[in-house]
Amino acid sequence: MSTARHEPIPELICELCRQFYALGWVSGTGGGISIRGAEGIYMAPSGVQKERLRPEDIWLLDGAHDDVKVLCAPADPTLKISECRPLFANAFRLRGAGAVLHSHSLWAVLASRLFAERGEFVCQGLEMQKGLRGMGCFDAVRVPIIANTARESELTASMAAAMVAYPAVDAVLVAGHGVYVWGSGWAQAKTQAECYDYLFRAVVEANRLGVRLT
């Protein structure tokens, strides 16, 4: 999309976060996004109101790994790097992602509870599946669900294991928590996240209605 080529990544992150807030993905300081740029990894700060972010609040790092080096810190010295850093790192490292986002969407949480025993979210027969990498509308979508942990960083290993077990899927659901979605670039991360959110909601609504979706 032509608009993608011109907007500096810090401005883009702020704009996307405002959009994600309106979608219910990042309220209460939860959620976030990280985008790989030519200069390094841009990352939203931790624990702030995502819809009020300003470009100067965005971190620029040399990566998302544990010994990450800060290339450009936010102007505000009270800001910290996102708690999601190691989880974002999983996407960058294991999948060569260009961007990864974290959503606390209520539909993701409800969907994770509907499929709690099964350990994976499943759906089939929905056109919106086509927005997911490599999926057709009649294929079965399967998204791994991992248990939540007291601290976000404690999810790192189980998230990585789920990613290895589900190589064709660009998302991991965290029970009672939300979902991580990534893509080759920010546009694919965002559009896949929109498709997943739609699918989560579709299954929840169909369940409430007592209809099968396929």
Does 177 sit near its own copies (CB under 8 A)?
yes
In one-letter notation, the amino acid at residue 14 is C
Q: Which residue in the set 62, 66, 116, 133 belongs to the binding site for its own copies (CB under 8 A)?
A: 116
Q: Which residue in the set 178, 180, 183, 189 belongs to the binding site for its own copies (CB under 8 A)?
A: 178
Does 14 sit near its own copies (CB under 8 A)?
no
- Find the part of the chain contacting its own copies (CB under 8 A) among 36-44, 63-71, 88-96, 193-201: 193-201
Q: Is 11 a catalytic residue?
A: no
Mark 48-87 with x for binding to its own copies (rule: CB under 8 A) and - for no binding.
xx--xxx-xx----------------xxx-----------
How is residue 173 written in tokens?
Answer: 């659901």
Query: Alpha-carbon distance 74 to 78, whole Å?
Result: 9
The CA distances from residue 22 to 7, 16, 19, 165, in Å, are: 21, 10, 5, 33
Query: Alpha-carbon distance 85 to 8, whole Å?
Result: 21
- Of residues 7, 39, 56, 127, which has the active-site annotation? 127
Mark 32-51 with x for binding to its own copies (rule: CB under 8 A) and - for no binding.
----------------xx--
For residue 67, the SS3 value is coil
Query: Alpha-carbon distance 13 to 162, whole Å?
Result: 27
